[in-house]
């Protein structure tokens, strides 16, 4: 096999397509926390109701990820992502132009947007790219895709905050439809890899989906990986959803949260690319343990030190380096152990655990604030979960499962 990073034009086009898809879906997802104050005023949404909507969004994101993953494995990631962006557009449209209070608020921002993210954000685009690259190059390729979210993370919060001030929340959501149109176009070029290449590159016998699932859950490493990724979801969504409210609670300016989210997005580029590269050189499970322990330290320093604009900027930089850095090694371990035939499905299930964590991160942040007038208890849980994740990855056996090789 050639030592070239990109083996053919199909892999290059798919890589670029996935970058565009992730930029849009993850960029828009990062901004919803900035809408809380306007939703509170215009729609009389409480912190608990808002946190519940984001929690439902995270849950449906995770629930639909393995379903869209199976669809992608069978029919192609381009079709799965295209369908997802259609649902995304419907959810955003109803949020500003349809019934948008009470149960309808939960339906549009929660169920529909969450369902759309199941196809457009992370698991399907990242896994489809992973199928085009060897084990040696895969974490770097998926790191590049994950880093593309940072462009959205950096630019979209700044655009959204400006647009909310200048044009209002309804027009801002209308502008989001143009981003979604770009995602629809990009999804057309998320080309599937030939099945013969998948089988040959992973040296596996042909499996059914049920056989692949049974094999995965009988492997202790997969179960541990599923458990650990729960923590990532809890922490990311707690920060993305409630950092605006936390900064408001601490008396900092209205732009402070947007600046933190933008910094997270920018420095996520360095973190994910760096982790993608390190994943080609070192044990992925050790890298994950280091990442989660570092998160515990960063969060603890942020909440126990006096909060100022300077400490907030440092937090944005540090947490940005750790933000999506978990994705390349996590996806890489799944592909390394089980091969790529059902990578979108198997990583989708791991990602479902991530989104269950996201549900609790979003909901409990608002719940604790409404109950105690503080986010502190949510931060304490986040630190404890980091220490759990630090330990749970260490026993994972990263060696590939040996199977009978197929003659194509």
With cut-offs at 50, 70 and 90, classify the pLDDT of residue 175: very high
Structure token digits, residue 102: 């009470």
Over residues 110-122, the pLDDT tens digits come to 999 999 999 998 8
Q: Per-residue pLDDT tens for 376-405?
A: 999 999 999 999 999 999 999 999 887 665
Contact 188, 78 (CB under 8 A): yes
Residue with tokens 């603890």: 300
HEC letters along 351-367: HHHHHHHHHHHHHHHHH
Higher pLDDT, 383 or 243: 383
pLDDT for residue 288: 96
Q: Which residue has the higher pLDDT, 7 or 3?
A: 7
Whole-number pLDDT of residue 3:
62
Domain 14-392 has CATH 3.90.1300.10: no
Least confidently predicted of 2-6, 11-15, 135-139, 153-157: 2-6
With a cut of 60, say whether residue 294 has pLDDT above it: yes
Q: What pLDDT was estimated at residue 403?
A: 65
* Mean pLDDT comparison of 33-47, 199-213, 366-380, highest-scoring range: 366-380
C-alpha closest to that of 359 among 229, 223, 225, 238: 238
- pLDDT band per the 50, 70, 90 thresholds, residue 1: very low
Range scoring the smallest mean pLDDT among 227-231, 305-309, 317-321:
305-309
Across all residues in the chain, what is the average pLDDT?
86
């Amino acid at each position: 096999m050639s030592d070239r990073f990109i083996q053919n034009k199909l892999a290059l086009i798919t890589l670029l397509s996935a970058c565009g898809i992730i930029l849009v879906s993850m960029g828009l997802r990062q901004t919803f926390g900035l809408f809380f104050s306007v939703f509170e005023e215009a729609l009389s949404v409480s912190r608990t109701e808002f946190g519940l909507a984001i929690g439902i969004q995270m849950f449906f994101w995770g629930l639909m990820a393995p379903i869209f993953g199976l669809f992608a494995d069978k029919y192609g990631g381009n079709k799965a992502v295209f369908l997802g962006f259609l649902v995304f557009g419907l959810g955003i449209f109803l949020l500003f132009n349809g019934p948008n209070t009470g149960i309808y608020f939960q339906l549009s921002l929660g169920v529909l947007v969450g369902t759309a993210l199941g196809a457009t954000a992370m698991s399907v685009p990242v896994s489809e790219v992973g199928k085009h690259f060897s084990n040696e190059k895969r974490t770097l390729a998926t790191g590049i895709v994950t880093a593309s979210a940072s462009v959205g993370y950096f630019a979209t919060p700044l655009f959204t905050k400006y647009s909310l001030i200048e044009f209002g929340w309804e027009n801002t959501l209308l502008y989001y439809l143009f981003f979604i149109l770009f995602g629809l176009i990009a999804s057309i070029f998320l080309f599937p890899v030939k099945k013969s290449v998948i089988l040959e590159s992973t040296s596996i016998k042909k499996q059914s989906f049920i056989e692949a699932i049974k094999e995965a859950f009988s492997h202790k490493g997969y179960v541990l990986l599923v458990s650990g990724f729960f923590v990532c979801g809890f922490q990311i969504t707690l920060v993305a959803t409630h950092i605006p409210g936390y900064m408001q609670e601490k008396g900092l300016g209205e732009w402070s949260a947007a600046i933190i989210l933008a910094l997270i997005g920018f420095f996520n580029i360095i973190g994910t690319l760096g982790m993608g590269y390190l994943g080609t050189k070192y044990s992925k499970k050790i890298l994950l343990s280091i990442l989660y322990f570092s998160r515990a330290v960063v969060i603890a320093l942020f909440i126990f030190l006096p909060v100022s604009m300077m400490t907030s900027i440092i937090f944005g930089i540090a947490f940005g380096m750790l933000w999506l850095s978990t994705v390349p090694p996590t996806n890489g371990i799944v592909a390394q152990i089980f091969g790529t035939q059902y990578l979108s499905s198997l990583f989708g299930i791991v990602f479902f655990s991530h989104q269950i964590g996201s549900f609790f991160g979003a909901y409990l942040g608002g719940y604790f604030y409404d109950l105690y007038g503080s986010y502190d208890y949510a931060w304490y849980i986040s630190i404890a979960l980091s220490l759990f994740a630090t330990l749970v990855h260490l026993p994972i056996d990263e060696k590939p499962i040996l199977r009978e090789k197929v003659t194509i």
